[in-house]
Structure 1
Amino acid sequence: MGELPTFLSSGERARLFPVLADTSREGRATSIFLACLANVREFADELLSSVGRGIGITSKVSAYTEICFNNSTGKIKFRPDGLIVVETGRSNWSALIESKIGNAELSRDQIESYLKLARENGINAVITISNQHATSSADHPVKIDGKLLGKAALYHWSWMDILTTADLLLTNGRVQDREQKIMLNEFRRFLSHDSTGVKGFDRMPAEWPKLIADLGTGAQITAQSEILTSVVRAWHLELRDLSLILSRQIGVPVSVKLSKQEARHPEERLKNDCTAFCNSHCLSALLMIPEAAVDIEITVDVRSRTLAAGAKLLAPKDRKSTSARLNWLLRQISEVPAQDAYVRVHWPYRGYTQYPLSELRQTLERVTTEHPDSTPMALEVLTVKRTERRFTQVSNFVEDIERLVPNFYGSVGSKLKAWQPPAPGIRPERNESADVSTEGISEDAEEAVAEFSDPPEDEPSKKKFWF
């Protein structure tokens, strides 16, 4: 069993089958999770890497519940739900675990108490787990006094983060040991059952219908508006949840495309998107899917109350006419239902024009006569939905987004193929009978110099370059 860490007076190894009261859903879920973390190496490595502590081949992961500490200053009001210890050679890393399940939310006082406890006992981090969502493990859903984040770091996993991690590991066959694979699969089954109390992001904040109403009446919305800030923050959480949903459906990790600055600083991203909304009255994002031809663009136009999912491809350069380039795209989406589907034709220096897919399938004449002196530089296919009253409803809006985007990717995004230039062939003058040795190439160069130096008699002499 091994010894307890020196700073603990008591504690139990996390059990896969904990003996707890029927009412202790939280304690049961935490113990089962920690037992899997300690016994399935790939699972531990994936999750702990998200908090900056990947494990090596020689690392040992231990997990405890019902922990009590030897020493602490002052009276302990709260007790953590668990402890993770990673031993690698002579170095140790540890993290306190605090978890909530169902509708229970994390408490600021409780978290700050654990940060102080961690600091007093040389523990490296506090990790919270709940159904509250965050854009990353470092973006905590509860705002904490920054002075407490010195020696002990604070991280957060949603239960959906944990479930998705387990699902992807199993889907992609990354767990090697048979017994560990069975254990992780049972944990996945346990977490995905309704009775466990795990749920995804399922509603926008109360400010959502208020923002829509204000825009409808022509109210001035500023980037510093508390209503807008609340909505954009919720939009980021919905994007994270949507990424997890798609990850589980496709079997690869889907993520939101962010700049390095925005990925490191969520508040910078929040500020940028609030400013962008004030300019466009739209919420938007790009989802990156490994091996997909293009990113999936999501746009929520609050003023027109429409939802859109789209994908844009560069037009094939080996097709010279507008009709040839459009037919290249139409062949790829020949089985896509025409209802709510549109194609945007992007022109050089002229923006884009948009057409119903049903119209393009019948005739391309309108497009080819639009700009007869130009050819499209990019082609975009999208699905646009107007959801009427559901758009303003905090739960139905989320449901509609989480239905639209996976359906679009399945029917359109996954079918698209990016244009690639053909492989270069052998130049006619350099065929198999040509002399391509250095001497042969030198002779070709000398002949070219002579040709350039002696222009035809009917052509005026041009300025020569002397080497």
Structure 2
Amino acid sequence: MADRPTFLESGEQARLIPVAADSSRETRAVSILLAAMMSVPPFALTMLQQLGQRVGTRSSLLGFTEVVFTRNGDQAKTRPDGLLVFDGGRGRQWNCLVEAKIGRAEIEPEQITKYANLARTNGITALLTISNQFVATPTHSPVRLPKSVLKGVELFHWSWMSIVTNAMLLLNEHKFERPEQRFILNEMVRYFSHPTVTVSSFDRMNPEWKELNAKVQSGARLSRSSPEVERSVAAWHQESRDLCLLMSRRLNRTVRQRLSKSHVNDQVTRLKDDSDSLIARHALSCAFDVPDAASPLQVVADLQRRCVSVSMVLSAPRDKQRASSRINWVLRQLAKTDPAGIHVRASWPGRAPDTQATLADLREDASLLEGENKSLAPTQFEVLLIRDLAGKFSGSRTFVELLEEAVPHFYEQVGERVRGYVAPPPKLRRAEPEVETQIEPEAPIAALPEPADP
């Protein structure tokens, strides 16, 4: 067995084929994950970087399961699912407890409090939770704990689906030095993708989702502190992350969610801000950066209108002066797009109002997008897919299903086809212009005055 840390009384090295009881599903899953990280350095690099660790050529990683600590303090019966021991080289060592949940089991605040105390007692500075719950970044957590509980211990979280997605992207993008590394990682993905392991995507909104929709439709006043607002926003955050992972898997490229710095640093601030936005606008929104796409992907769930919209914004070409030329520029890019549900909105300079028309109508008459002032030209276009979900909007399952169908559909029909405006490069003149030189006639030299008599 690999060298076991001195603060461990007992613990099994993580193995790809663990020997564990049928009831120990979490232990089996953690063992396979940690063993894959130990065996496939590129995978370990990808995952550990998310936890703020720098991985170099001299780095090493060990994983243990069923760990029992020599110093348990008042946590004698507390036994986390795993332990990561990372040696970054030059005496830099980082240890991290691992606690996992499988299926619909969720991370519990009381349990995390005990593990944080156990970590501090043994000089461990990090705690990683893994479950089917989704968070925007690994530094966020699905549970809210007082800062005093986590003093001296960093709390991280991975969803099982984020682990699978990162592995799939690596399998598609990376060239492994040794074939067995690809085989091991592929087998790990195959294991976690099997239905019996119950690794799942986010598939339903919170139970209060229907009540929230009913209040919005009736015009009732919403409160930030009400359960239906706070829990619906938290569920939307999970769904946003799941959408990000879904698009990453569909595109075989890493899609990132757009978050402000304050929201990345503090998930409580994000929850409050998005709750305020929901109360003011009766809508939930998120945005994604797709590699090499013309613009970010904007997603809005409008509770008032009971519709979902997905859109991209394109700056109008500045080298075209007429409104019709700019409108035709965007319509040509959508020539092969399925027009069902697709709208185009044009923004105009000054106080001129936006104009909007369906793609189907614009194909018949592009002038429908022109404004009243014919001397103006649009400054930007927004291409939207609008899906009216009607009564299905308030269904906790149907809402997620239809949203996760709409976003990839929009990207396939619009995102893959449109390109942002790029100014054409300047052209050389056929010949250098001749510089006219005019020679001034020499002025006559004035006669010098006669010297005065002394």
Q: CA deviation at 1:71?
A: 2.0
Correspondence for 2:450: none
Correspondence for 1:135: 136
Correspondence for 2:315: 314
In the alignment, the residues of structure 2 paired with residue 346 and residue 218 of structure 1 have an alpha-carbon distance, to the nearest angstrom, of: 30
Correspondence for 1:3: 3
Q: Mean Cα displacement is larger for which, 197-206 or 239-248?
A: 197-206
Correspondence for 1:410: 412
Correspondence for 1:258: 259
Give the alignment's TM-score, normalised by structure 2. 0.92
Correspondence for 1:460: none
Q: CA deviation at 1:188?
A: 0.8
Residues 60 and 86, structure 1, Cα contact 8 Å, conserved in 2: yes
Correspondence for 2:68: 68
Superposed CA deviations along residues 363-413 of structure 1, whole A, max 9, x for unmatched, are 123333633121111112111111122111001101111110011111111
Q: How does 1:89-238 map to 2 (within 5 A)?
A: 89-238=90-239
Superposed CA deviations along residues 107-129 of structure 1, whole A, max 9, x for unmatched, are 22221111111111111211111
Correspondence for 2:14: 14
Q: CA deviation at 1:427?
A: 6.0
Partner amino acid, structure 2, of 1:296: L
In the alignment, the residues of structure 1 paired with residue 9 and residue 410 of structure 2 have an alpha-carbon distance, to the nearest angstrom, of: 55
Residues 163 and 188, structure 1, Cα contact 8 Å, conserved in 2: yes
In the alignment, the residues of structure 2 paired with residue 28 and residue 368 of structure 1 have an alpha-carbon distance, to the nearest angstrom, of: 62
Residues 42 and 174, structure 1, Cα contact 8 Å, conserved in 2: no
In the alignment, the residues of structure 1 paired with residue 408 and residue 173 of structure 2 have an alpha-carbon distance, to the nearest angstrom, of: 20
Partner amino acid, structure 2, of 1:393: G
Residues 75 and 118, structure 2, Cα contact 8 Å, conserved in 1: no
- 144 and 175 in structure 1: CA distance in 2 versus 1, 3 angstrom threshold: farther
Q: CA deviation at 1:89?
A: 2.9
In the alignment, the residues of structure 2 paired with residue 270 and residue 279 of structure 1 have an alpha-carbon distance, to the nearest angstrom, of: 14
- Helix, strand or coil for the counterpart of 1:336? coil
Partner amino acid, structure 2, of 1:410: E
Residues 59 and 89, structure 1, Cα contact 8 Å, conserved in 2: no
- Helix, strand or coil for the counterpart of 1:365? helix
In the alignment, the residues of structure 1 paired with residue 434 and residue 184 of structure 2 have an alpha-carbon distance, to the nearest angstrom, of: 66
Q: How does 1:307-346 map to 2 (within 5 A)?
A: 307-346=308-347
Partner amino acid, structure 2, of 1:86: F
Q: How well do the aligned residues superpose, as a CA RMSD in angstroms?
A: 2.0
Q: CA deviation at 1:174?
A: 4.8
Does residue 378 (structure 1) correspond to residue 380 (structure 2)? The answer is yes
In the alignment, the residues of structure 2 paired with residue 178 and residue 152 of structure 1 have an alpha-carbon distance, to the nearest angstrom, of: 37
In the alignment, the residues of structure 2 paired with residue 84 and residue 135 of structure 1 have an alpha-carbon distance, to the nearest angstrom, of: 23
Correspondence for 2:443: none
Q: Mean Cα displacement is larger for which, 342-351 or 169-178?
A: 169-178
- Helix, strand or coil for the counterpart of 1:294? coil
Correspondence for 1:392: 394
- 107 and 262 in structure 1: CA distance in 2 versus 1, 3 angstrom threshold: closer
In the alignment, the residues of structure 2 paired with residue 353 and residue 75 of structure 1 have an alpha-carbon distance, to the nearest angstrom, of: 65
Percent of aligned pairs sharing the same letter: 38
In the alignment, the residues of structure 2 paired with residue 377 and residue 86 of structure 1 have an alpha-carbon distance, to the nearest angstrom, of: 53
Q: Mean Cα displacement is larger for which, 391-400 or 135-144?
A: 135-144
**Number of equivalences:** 437
In the alignment, the residues of structure 2 paired with residue 370 and residue 326 of structure 1 have an alpha-carbon distance, to the nearest angstrom, of: 15
Superposed CA deviations along residues 253-274 of structure 1, whole A, max 9, x for unmatched, are 1122122122111222222222
Residues 357 and 368, structure 2, Cα contact 8 Å, conserved in 1: no
* Unaligned stretches of 5+ residues in structure 2: 441-454
Does residue 401 (structure 1) correspond to residue 403 (structure 2)? The answer is yes
Correspondence for 2:250: 249
Superposed CA deviations along residues 261-292 of structure 1, whole A, max 9, x for unmatched, are 22111222222222222232111122111111
Q: CA deviation at 1:143?
A: 1.9
Q: CA deviation at 1:86?
A: 0.7
- 155 and 396 in structure 1: CA distance in 2 versus 1, 3 angstrom threshold: same
Partner amino acid, structure 2, of 1:54: R
In the alignment, the residues of structure 1 paired with residue 158 and residue 369 of structure 2 have an alpha-carbon distance, to the nearest angstrom, of: 49
Q: CA deviation at 1:240?
A: 0.5
